[in-house]
């Protein structure tokens, strides 16, 4: 009987010893998680991250070439992220980016266990209960929106606009956060500013998608993943 598919993870840290510590902690979760890459230079990990398919990223914050926070902002297909750092003062910025957790070095076994259990529980919940609705707050009201009625979601700085078959709603939320609430089988992020419902597409080319009488440009960093996903439909 074949085993369960393992979750994939990456580790990015400019200190090889810090990477080794995380790898040792991950050995306790070898039945569930497989590390598919470690990098001391963040930009070398970008091609693999751009392909998608990474479930969890352990990301150092204080690195010489670029901070982990700035690096995360540049990732188009963001996995769950657990920040690892020796500095507590970055926690607010990290959670503003919807980080799953924030581990302060030296990382204890108990603290690592708590972070990983959080990840595994979220993954299990998503697999067991496909989302048919999302809940948002807009105009001081709470809305329960059927996911199948959503046409697209657009980022507006610190807000997002959710366009449905009946109306448009503006709410204080990030695109990356709402993306995690949507069923991946019908929603596709095509640009840093847009998520679309693939069931609502009129037509598409290698550079744009036509939907709801509007033409959406496919972002350069998203193109390979978008076109590959659409060809499978």
| pLDDT tens digits, one per residue of 64-86 | 999 999 999 888 778 899 999 98
What is the predicted pLDDT for the residue at 114? Answer: 95
What is the predicted pLDDT for the residue at 156? Answer: 92
Token pair of 155 as six digits: 């980022």
Determine the 3-state secondary structure of 87 from DSSP: coil
Handedness of CA 164, 166, 168, 169 (dihedral sign): negative
Decide: 214 and 190 in contact? Cβ < 8 Å: no
CA distance linking residue 180 with residue 49, whole number of Å = 16
For the stretch 9-31, pLDDT in tens is 999 999 999 999 999 999 999 99
Strands 101-104 and 80-85: parallel
pTM higher than 0.85, yes or no?
no
Count each helix (H run) and each strand (E run) in the chain, helices first.
7, 15
Decide: 78 and 176 in contact? Cβ < 8 Å: yes
CA distance linking residue 85 with residue 232, whole number of Å = 39
Measure the CA dihedral 137/56/29/11, to 10°: -140
What is the predicted pLDDT for the residue at 183? Answer: 87
Task: Find, among 193, 186, 227, the residue nearest to 207 by Cα.
Answer: 227
Residue carrying the six token digits 């993943």: 225
Determine the 3-state secondary structure of 16 from DSSP: helix
Region 41-55 average pLDDT:
89
Q: Is the per-residue pLDDT at 92 higher than 80?
A: no
For the stretch 184-232, pLDDT in tens is 889 999 999 999 999 999 999 999 999 999 999 999 999 999 998 898 7
């Amino acid at each position: 009987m074949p085993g369960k598919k393992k979750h994939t993870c990456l580790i990015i840290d400019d200190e090889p010893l810090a990477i080794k510590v995380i790898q040792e902690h991950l050995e306790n979760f070898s039945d569930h998680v497989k590390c598919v890459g470690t990098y001391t230079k963040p930009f070398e990990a970008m091609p693999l991250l751009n392909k998608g398919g990474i479930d969890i990223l352990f990301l150092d914050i204080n690195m010489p070439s670029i901070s982990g926070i700035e690096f995360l902002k540049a990732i188009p297909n963001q996995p769950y992220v657990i920040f690892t750092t020796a500095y507590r003062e970055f926690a607010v910025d990290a959670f503003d980016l919807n980080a799953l957790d924030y581990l302060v070095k030296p990382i204890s076994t108990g603290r690592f266990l708590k972070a990983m259990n959080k990840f595994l529980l979220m993954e299990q919940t998503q697999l067991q209960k496909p989302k048919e609705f999302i809940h948002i707050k807009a105009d001081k009201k709470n809305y329960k929106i059927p996911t199948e009625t959503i046409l697209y979601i657009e980022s507006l700085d610190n807000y997002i606009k959710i366009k449905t078959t009946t109306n448009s709603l503006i709410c204080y939320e990030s695109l990356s956060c709402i993306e995690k609430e949507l069923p991946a089988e019908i929603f596709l992020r095509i640009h840093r500013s847009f998520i679309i419902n693939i069931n609502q597409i009129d037509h598409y080319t290698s550079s744009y998608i036509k939907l709801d009488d509007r033409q959406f440009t496919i972002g350069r960093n998203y193109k390979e993943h978008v076109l590959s996903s659409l060809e499978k439909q």
